[in-house]
Structure 1
């Protein structure tokens, strides 16, 4: 029975489009289901419930971190970090991919303000508190993501998805047959008890009628 896993891919948006595409490609090549947030606006907090549902439905969570912290919620936390925290909170296995500090990277894709840089450093430290992979370019990221996902799926298999027709194996069929037989037996017992109840009520009514007919009149002189 072939199982397909749903993989949620998270990152800042504009600066990591190509890198995210590489991980989506890796997931598809493995025959699994990538889920990205390209269809949502990073600044639209009304989308959070939908994003949270997608993470809940995912088997693995991948986060890519480079040199931008990203758009922030009203709480002052980036959407990427909020997604990462939520995945950890609900127990979805997380895989972190952080850019190597010595890697070549366009300055236009680097945060400039001290406030952003401080938050980014803190977020990187959080991601690196678990086992992570460091990458220097998108091709290297593709390879490392593929290997990491294969290992995670082998060592820590999750629920995953299967075709409905494949779900009905012999064990499931046997269990359904057993439950159906048990259900039929219980229905017969209920019908028997209902019949006994009706018969008992009829017997009581008959007894009462007999007693009503056995009335005697007495005169006392």
Structure 2
């Protein structure tokens, strides 16, 4: 017998009397929803001697899901100035009851309603509605998603849906071999590099009746965008703190999930300030970005792994003077709120098959720790706590050191002085390469110093421009492709580096 989940429907009763009763009837009479859910509204309670507050507190605590409808009115306020709807919301939160919030579009709201909405948006995802039909549709979608996640109905999510016209011939064997090599090194993957494409995909559960599932295309085809045009990362750089045209730098990165993630990380790093240290203990100057590469990479991987690939929107990255915004068309699972991401929590991947591949490849370190690592690492460095917005999809905001208040800046200046670290902004991307070079260095050594991963991006944006500008030269110019090839600063490059040091 199916377990039935109790839905507690909350709102200002006078404002949404019709919607509450309609939702109750809709869920009770729907063949599917009625089999799994029992809706509850306060109007259904018979008269008794218990206080109103005692009744709704008891009902919320006994519920499996809290549904809140928000409109223009805040409603009756208790002695603490809190409405029943917000009080019920807080109780559900304290008991870790999933909260589904639906906000009716309106131009005028009570000030406390606006404050309540701001509170909601900082904690969980919410949906907008304009009328009763759109509210019913939104609630229906939430119910279906909940039942899929509970395994009560068959899931046809993007992650494991098949491509009926494609088989293993669409997969790039070289990408599979590279994946196996990486997975064996990172996670002791049991299959060998000699394993066939069919064997690897079968082991990863990326085949259904010999047909490949969507996640296989994202991982093992060179151009997944042929099948999913929106599976890209759009990156923009702005000099100020608001989006303004003309945009100084805009790029769209495609390819496999690993390639476009590396490209996006390298793009962001090229816009961040670098640190310089002393040579008191080492002849090599340590390179450090104002926001660590690990934090940037974690944020990008999170967006790629957990986005909604059915959406026509892309992952979007915006680098501003004071912050980095990383948005994806996805949402938090109903089991988690924003505050849950700041403490140890279970993992609820939106695309579990894709997430497993990214874990085996080493892009994801551990399940359920990505966002927690971001909060912990930024705190350790004294950076402003990242913000999360759930208005449209999932947006993570990483604050750059320039976002600090005057007090914080003074504190950090002292902190940096003690550690002999200062951050430098570079007008041209090639100046970064010049800054980190010491003696003759190989391409790999320079990339490692800059913490870059994508060879093509490095060659196009760093190495080749520096060569063309006469800032560096090859040590073996007659054999450009030699595995022993290194690069060294020219006189022009040395003079530029001296100038950069003087401007430090």
Give the TM-score range, shorter chain.
0.5 to 0.7
Distance 1:55 1:156 in 2: 21
Residue 118 of structure 1 aligns with which residue? 111
Deviation beyond 6 Å, 4+ runs, structure 1: none
SS in structure 2 of the partner of residue 75 of structure 1: coil
Residue 182 of structure 1 aligns with which residue? none
Residue 59 of structure 2 aligns with which residue? 54
Structure label with greater radius of gyration: 1
Unpaired segments of 5 or more residues in structure 1? 103-109, 112-116, 159-221
TM-score normalised per structure 2: 0.27
Contact 1:59 1:92 in 2 (8 A): yes
Matched, 1:80 2:85: yes
Deviation at 1:39, TM superposition (A): 5.0
Contact 1:96 1:128 in 2 (8 A): no
Residue 188 of structure 2 aligns with which residue? none
Deviation at 1:17, TM superposition (A): 0.9
Residue 208 of structure 1 aligns with which residue? none
Could you say which structure has the higher helix fraction?
A: 1
SS in structure 1 of the partner of residue 16 of structure 2: helix
Residue 127 of structure 1 aligns with which residue? 120
Residue 37 of structure 1 is aligned with which of 35, 42, 53?
42
1:152 and 1:73, CA in 2 relative to 1: closer, same or farther beyond 3 A?
Answer: same
Deviations 1:29-54 (A, max 9, x none): 311211111257xxxx9321221111
Residue 19 of structure 1 aligns with which residue? 19
Distance 2:83 2:151 in 1: 29
Unpaired segments of 5 or more residues in structure 2? 153-504
Q: What is the CA RMSD across the aligned residues, in angstroms?
A: 2.5
Deviation at 1:26, TM superposition (A): 3.3
Distance 2:126 2:6 in 1: 20
SS in structure 2 of the partner of residue 55 of structure 1: helix
SS in structure 2 of the partner of residue 69 of structure 1: coil
Deviation at 1:155, TM superposition (A): 1.9
Residue 199 of structure 1 aligns with which residue? none
1:90 and 1:145, CA in 2 relative to 1: closer, same or farther beyond 3 A?
Answer: same
Query: What aligned pairs does 1:1-221 form with structure 2 within 5 A after superposition?
Result: 1-29=1-29, 30-31=33-34, 32-38=37-43, 46-101=51-106, 117-129=110-122, 130-155=124-149
Kindly tell me the number of residue pairs found equivalent between the two proteins: 144
